[in-house]
Structure 1
Amino acid sequence: MSRINLVAFSLFAFLFLISSAEAEKEPLWEWESPNAVNHVAISGDSRNISATYATSVSLWYNDTTNPRNTKTVGSGISSMEMSADGKYVLTGEEFDKTVTLWEEGSKVWETEDFLNVVNDVDISSDGTYIAVVDWKNVLFFNKATNEAVWSYNHANEIMTTVSISPDGYFIAAGTEQGKVYVYSTYDDNISWYHDGLLDGRIIEIDFSEDSTHFVIGTENGRVYIYESEGENPVFDYDQPDGVTCVSASSNTRYYAFGTDEGLVTMLDLDVFFKAWEAEIGGIVTDVSFNGKGNYISAGSNNKRLILADVLTGEELWRISAFGEVSGVAMSYRGENIAVGTAEGLAVYYERQLDNQAPV
């Protein structure tokens, strides 16, 4: 065999192996939506799935291809979160400045009492407590009423994102000016704040499952990890690319983020450095740990989707989804992964994670 033919054969074999590996993992099911899915969530037991697309929010069971419940709102849904058991879903409409709480697909209440826009929403794990940011305000709600328990006005700031701790005790709200304000939900006083003037816009904040830590991702590439009751960062990590998403594990040792250059990075507090990184290409749109904190899934707008071991970075699989990935969500074990794309919703099943020993 000539050298040219050998090289050509080797290249063909390599490409065949890659395409075969990517073809091995098929979704449990796919549902094609009339509009791009922009948010997706799955309950800890993997039974309940929620997704939003344009003006609609739909619910599925993990073994049903078609939605079991769909509701339509006034304008495009820009934010959505779900309680850990899937019972409550919270949606925000940016330009209709409306927040709606749903219980098992039925509207509990809605409110439009916001300034100019609704920029972000979040809900505690049990669905009891709710945080919202509009243009200038941070608002705290209880599920029992659509009237805010308290609100705090930041006249000199523009709010961008909000996160409420899983236990509902803390709220962290980010701004365009690189600040993060931390509150105790017991009152509307600021407990402390982070000021990163040179970091640009705060992109996303996420609390650890035990509510003791949270991670901050910034527009200019710096990532911070704080204790919820601490005023100094436990760790900060700088890199040149814009951060697009962050996620905190149930194990307070690990935190992950994605960038606009297609890089997924795992940070390890035990060594105060990155544990590993993976290049998936495109813009990383979402990263999500399973509830046990030992596996992570990430997706990008070039349709790439990976499932990897948190400790080693070893990938169980790397595939092409049926559309640009907009969101990923993993169940507690991680056996079911819900993936939102520009084409619809896909659910994957991973047997290796289903066979993990119970905790």
Structure 2
Amino acid sequence: MVGWKRVVALGLMSLLAAVPAHALQDGACDRQCLDGFANAYLDALIANDPSALPMDADVKYSENQSLLRVGEGAWQTARELGDYRIYVADPGVGQVGFIGNIRLEGGWTMIALRLKIRGRRIVEVESVIPGPAPSSAGFSFGDAAANLATPRAIYSQTLEPAQRRDRGTLIFQSDLHYEGVERGNGDIVPFANDCLKIENGVQLIRNPDFPFPAASPSGRELPNFSSFGCRDQFNTHIWDTDTVTDRRYPIVDRERGIVFAFVMYHQYLRAPCANVVDYGTVCPPAHVEPFTLVLAEAFRLSDGEIQGVEAVFTALPTVRLRGVW
């Protein structure tokens, strides 16, 4: 084991040595440099050994909106990185985001990661890593994460210069997604007709086979909420029970049209049940108190429309309106 970790550490040092020369000179870090930092970090995480990473002495590190020391949390349980990998680079602010599948000690799950680089050193690390989830209702999020292979091509495609939008516009268009939740209105969200949402490795849009966790007090058969498109699902008002706070957009990848967001998403904070259009009352399968999801989402936009949303979340036991950032 020690020998293997030494090999990994030497590999990390080689990766960091391959950073472009101008980054060594003036502290700049382009896409290749930022992606290199993300890969080096992930390799170190899997090796359970951060010692080879260029960490700032005062690095701020969080996991699921809890402040930890580097070396704690998933640093002790990470075992293997999967092939599902999305990178979001923002050289203008020296930050890189990553979404992918990862095997922890207890099984497969997802990881969302944000690194801030300054002077070729990691000064901030923010991660969302849900614990491996047990199977329920004949469905397993862990199996879904384990079976992920390749993300949709849109997340690695470079937009033509004429298609690119400025930072403020991309953030505004992404934020409309949360406004749509708040207002129960999908028509104000610039969803593309072929929009897809993947949450913790599971397609939750146009996926009629997903067992949506809801019930009718009257016992009637529910609408198949997972079979709807992005806009139509919002317009059922199924999310009227929820609200979103502490919205942050630290990474904007203008070349690829991706905005990386972190929010605190509160389920059943506004009401215990939803009043679904043309149906009536829909509730959780069993009584639940309001709780908060620590949520990271990558919005991919083109021509002013949200083509895809990749989300990683984990649930907190109670409501927390703000995180640690």
Bigger share in strand: 1
Bigger share in helix: 2
Regarding TM over 0.5, the answer is no
Please report the TM-score for the alignment, with normalisation by the length of structure 2.
0.28
Please report the TM-score for the alignment, with normalisation by the length of structure 1.
0.26
Q: Which has the higher contact order (CA 8 A, sep 6+)?
A: 2
